[in-house]
Amino acid sequence: MKPPLCILTAPAAAAAVAAVAALGGNNLQQPLAVKPSTIPSLGFGTWNLDESNVTEAVSAALEAGYRHIDCATIYGNQKEVGKGIADGLKKAGVNRTDVWITSKLWNDHHNPNLVGEALDQALSDLGLDYLDLWLMHWPVASSADGTKLDYLHAWHAMERLHHTNKLRNIGVSNFSPAQLKDIIQNSDTKPAVHQFELHPYLPQEDWVATHEALGIAVTAYSPFANTNPTYNSGRDDPPFLLKNTDMVAIADERGCTTAQVALVWGMSRGYSVIPKSSHLDHIKENFEALGCKLHRGHLDRIDHLSDKYLKRFNNPSKSYGVKLYDGLQDS
């Protein structure tokens, strides 16, 4: 019997090798293609970008230098994203192989008989022959019978597609420790990447350390926290991250914007971040975060923002009628 998957404490990086060895076995074979260093650390997100402007935004992102585009079936804009990719590749003078493109399987296609259909539709909408990464968007399956936690059968179907020329890597999003353990211990391939909410108000140090130990790359969505209007922050929520006085002070010290400071903080922790914007100046400004330099003292100061403002903004547990994020910060 394999030992349970535990959330490591952040200082446990020194025990990473032992943790991985303890979980050993053929079912922990390395992903075929991915290493954290191969995923561009600064990506461009497309969640909630309107069909009327997402094509221009994606094209502008590629022209600005982004080489990592994150999208998903449920966003409802993949045809427009695909047009933006084609236009941006041409304008930037780069090849498809130079850009990392991620999409996601939606909940209504977890039936193993529907998973291949979902992949084909995503590729068709995006105008692509393959994806660098395909994530299971949630550990939740929805059908006419309702919504429930159900992911293993869909994961096994994704594994079978992993061995085709349509996918380079497969991964998960929004999984809990118990669900990630279930995938690892009952599959032939562990996830190459796990995408989940990460920002200074939800740093999840131990969860990030666990992924480092397991050799699973991490991508952070919502790196600007409650700046996203979708979250409808109220009076009881923390101040908008990009207006937080500590963030503003650090940005002023370093000659950066608060958005750039938030992105550098995330990338400094060893994972990729995927900011989004439909404004061309913000798209360029966010990419210029790569030139923003923070000292250890600045990073430590940001680390402590969650001591006062710990908050998870994306938790659809009530609407799905299932418990999500069990065992994680602010679940």
Q: Taking a C-beta distance cutoff of 8 angstroms, is the pair 104, 110 a contact?
A: no
Asked if residue 198 lies in contact with residue 312, where contact means CB atoms within 8 angstroms, the answer is no
| Percentages of the chain per state (helix, strand, coil), in multiples of 5 | 50, 15, 40
CA angle 252, 200, 330 (to 5 degrees): 155
- Do residues 242 and 258 lie in contact, with contact meaning Cβ atoms separated by under 8 Å? yes
Is 231 annotated as catalytic?
no
Three-class secondary structure of residue 123 per DSSP: helix
Amino acid at 179: Q
Q: Per the structure block, which two tokens stand in for 101?
A: 């493109």
Residue pair 112/154 in contact by the 8 Å Cβ criterion: yes
**Residue linked to tokens 């009076």:** 235
What tokens appear for 72 in the block?
């998903």
Q: Which tokens go with 157?
A: 């179907």
Measuring CA to CA, which residue among 93, 94, 163 is closest to residue 134? Answer: 163
Q: Which of 66, 75, 201, 271 is catalytic?
A: 75
Catalytic residues: 75
